[in-house]
Amino acid sequence: MKNITLLFFVVLTLVACAKSPTGRSQFIIVGAEQMSKMGIESFDNMKQEQPVSTDKKLTAYVQCVADPILKVLPAEWQNDWEIVVFDSEQINAFALPGRKIGVYTGILQVTENADQLAAIVGHEVGHVIANHGAERVSQGTAAQKIAQGVSVLTKGSEYHKEISAGLGIGAQYGVLMPFSRLHESEADVLGLQYLMLAGYKPEESQKLWQNMAKVGGKRQMEILSTHPAPETRINNLGKHIKKYRAQGIKPLFKRAACSK
Ligand SMILES: [Zn+2]
């Protein structure tokens, strides 16, 4: 009984504290440290199981495009990100807690310029900063187990499956599961802020989703989940571009000159 009471207060405290960067209240009952650990572990596995690009020029290009995005993040988020380019035709990209970013070569054939690639990086990083993975774990099976009086805060490895699901990684590494519509919209809005602050052209994010909708088809990808519909997404971005311009968001530095 004592343990359950204690757990109740731990949960209550964590829930009470959680707010996303856009000010949305979040139900989160899994620790940031545990999410990071799982993210890093998953990323290490992916690097072992999936071919990493040996194209140094291409990898340097992706790093060059991503750098300004990382530099405009909230201060505590700016450092220690690892970016890996995976050699795969999949049109995909992802970011994981523990500051890991994966970009598939397939997506580099869809992005027409650095601005569009930066829009993808901003979106994926937005998921991590808004703690969407932890929110999914909390909403999922792990939450039920907590309700039964079992703590995921202390028994990490037991919840490997739930946390993998929360990170958006399926049983087979590399199968990325779509986030909810709410999470997608929030990542879009955060990504757009980073894009504008980093000196990229925000309208390119709209063009990106237009292109993605064209090539997407039935191919599974995190960044093009079934919701929201491309038009909704593009309209929402347009609304926010106007809003941020009206608020006077200005680039913190000149647009990066990165060449492939
Ligand atoms: Zn997403």
* Three-state SS annotation for the chain: CHHHHHHHHHHHHHHHHCECCCCCECCCCCCHHHHHHHHHHHHHHHHHHCCECCCHHHHHHHHHHHHHHHHCCCHHHCCCCEEEEECCCCCCEEEECCCEEEEEHHHHCCCCCHHHHHHHHHHHHHHHHCCHHHHHHHHCHHHHHHHCCCCCCCCCHHHHHHHHHHHCECCCCCCECCCCHHHHHHHHHHHHHHHHHCCCCCHHHHHHHHHHHHHHCCCCCHHHCCCCCHHHHHHHHHHHHHHHHHHCCCCCCCCCCCCC
Ligand 1 centroid – CA 224 distance (Å): 7
**pLDDT-wise least confident of 22-31, 92-101, 133-142, 210-219:** 210-219
Ligand 1 centroid – CA 204 distance (Å): 17
Residue 255 domain-assigned (yes or no): no
Residue 185 domain-assigned (yes or no): yes
pLDDT at 62: 98
Ligand 1 centroid – CA 185 distance (Å): 8
Range of the domain at 228: 2-247
Ligand 1 centroid – CA 240 distance (Å): 17
Q: What mean pLDDT comes out for the span 133-162?
A: 62
Whether residue 172 has pLDDT greater than 50: no
Give the type of residue at 46.
M
Residue 256 domain-assigned (yes or no): no
Residue 60 domain-assigned (yes or no): yes
Residue 164 domain-assigned (yes or no): yes
Whether residue 97 has pLDDT greater than 70: yes
Ligand 1 centroid – CA 9 distance (Å): 32
Tally of structural domains, the chain: 1
Ligand 1 centroid – CA 144 distance (Å): 25
Ligand 1 centroid – CA 139 distance (Å): 18
Ligand 1 centroid – CA 225 distance (Å): 7
Whether residue 81 has pLDDT greater than 60: yes
Query: Which of 23-27, 71-75, 107-111, 160-164 has maximum average pLDDT?
Result: 71-75
Query: Which of 133-137, 168-172, 242-246 has maximum average pLDDT?
Result: 242-246
Whether residue 32 has pLDDT greater than 90: no
Q: What mean pLDDT comes out for the span 116-134?
A: 94
Ligand 1 centroid – CA 124 distance (Å): 6
Ligand 1 centroid – CA 122 distance (Å): 10
pLDDT at 180: 80
User: 67: Cβ–Cβ under 8 A, 6 or more apart, which residues?
Assistant: 256
Whether residue 171 has pLDDT greater than 50: no
Ligand 1 centroid – CA 147 distance (Å): 29
pLDDT at 70: 98
Ligand 1 centroid – CA 216 distance (Å): 14
Ligand 1 centroid – CA 151 distance (Å): 28
pLDDT confidence bin for 176, thresholds 50/70/90: low
As a whole number, the mean pLDDT across the chain is 83
pLDDT tens per residue across span 213-249: 887 654 545 555 555 677 888 999 999 999 999 999 9
